[in-house]
Amino acid sequence: MARGHPNDARLNEPADHFATLAQQEQASHLGMWLFLTSEVLLFGALFGLYTGYRLEYAADFAQAVQHNNIAIGTINTALLVTSSFSAAWAVHSARLGSRRGVVTSLAVTLLLGLGFLVLKLVEYLEHFQAGIYPGALYHSTELPSHGANLFFTLYFFLTGLHALHVVAGLSALAVLAVLGWLGRHTPERHTSLELGVLYWHLVDVIWIFVWPLMYLQK
């Protein structure tokens, strides 16, 4: 029987260097949280840059924020927090032993995540039509200030990096959905699902802070 098959008894045994399965799971969670910390520091540096430039170019930033589509930003926030709920529900379903629940919840999460990316693309295209690009490519006649250029360079870098994380999260969740379909997430063992969903929640938490900074300022 292949390793990883739901009926494989070895699936419920810890690796050699762990005394118990609980200890192994705890180590996995700690490792994942340390990885998430590195991600938080990555985005934290960008939030730090935002803080500095915002204080230095307060008027330009206030003007530039108005150009972002607040409706798209808000709908995307609702999509991501709902996707966090459906992802959490996938873990809940795994604990209850509901294979259908796992797959359906992850499918809903994937659809919401794809919806987020489509709306982001629509917003990017709106900006491109107005000459709003990152860095030296910026040639907006409506917002010609250096501060606006800095704001949108940060906007593209922050939201672009976040979008890459959405793509990575969706890829991981797609693989986990297939594994769920194959019945690999059992009530006793579903650590991979928990870790993948933890990553997705981090993507949500980062957006929760991007939304007010990039859309709700005056």
Partner 1 sequence: MTDRTPLPPEPSVTRAPRAGVSAAHAESGRAYVFAWLALLALTLLSFGAHFLELGALATAVSLAFAGLKATVVVLVFMHVRQESVSVRTVAGMNVAWVVLLSVGIALDVAAH
Q: Which residues of this chain interact with partner 1, rule CB under 8 A?
A: 12, 14, 19-23, 25-26, 29-30, 33-34, 36-37, 40-41, 44-45, 47-49, 51-52, 55-56, 70, 74, 77-78, 81-82, 84-85, 87-89, 92, 95, 187-191, 194, 198, 201, 204-205, 208-209, 211-213, 216-218
Quote the radius of gyration of the chain (alpha carbons, Å).
21
Residues 32 and 26: their CA atoms lie apart, in Å, by 10
Q: How far is the CB of 213 from partner 1 (least distance, A)?
A: 8
Q: How far is the CB of 137 from partner 1 (least distance, A)?
A: 26
Residues 198 and 41: their CA atoms lie apart, in Å, by 17
Helices (H), 3-139: 21-56, 58-65, 70-96, 99-129
Smaller CB separation from partner 1, 29 or 67: 29
Smaller CB separation from partner 1, 14 or 134: 14
Q: How far is the CB of 138 from partner 1 (least distance, A)?
A: 22
Smaller CB separation from partner 1, 12 or 125: 12
Q: How far is the CB of 141 from partner 1 (least distance, A)?
A: 27
Q: Which of 149, 157, 124 is nearest to 46 (CA)?
A: 157
Q: Determine which helix (DSSP H) or strand (DSSP E) holds 72, and give its type and residue range.
A: helix 70-96
Q: How far is the CB of 74 from partner 1 (least distance, A)?
A: 5
* Paired tokens of 138: 């910026």
Residues 121 and 111: their CA atoms lie apart, in Å, by 15
Smaller CB separation from partner 1, 60 or 194: 194
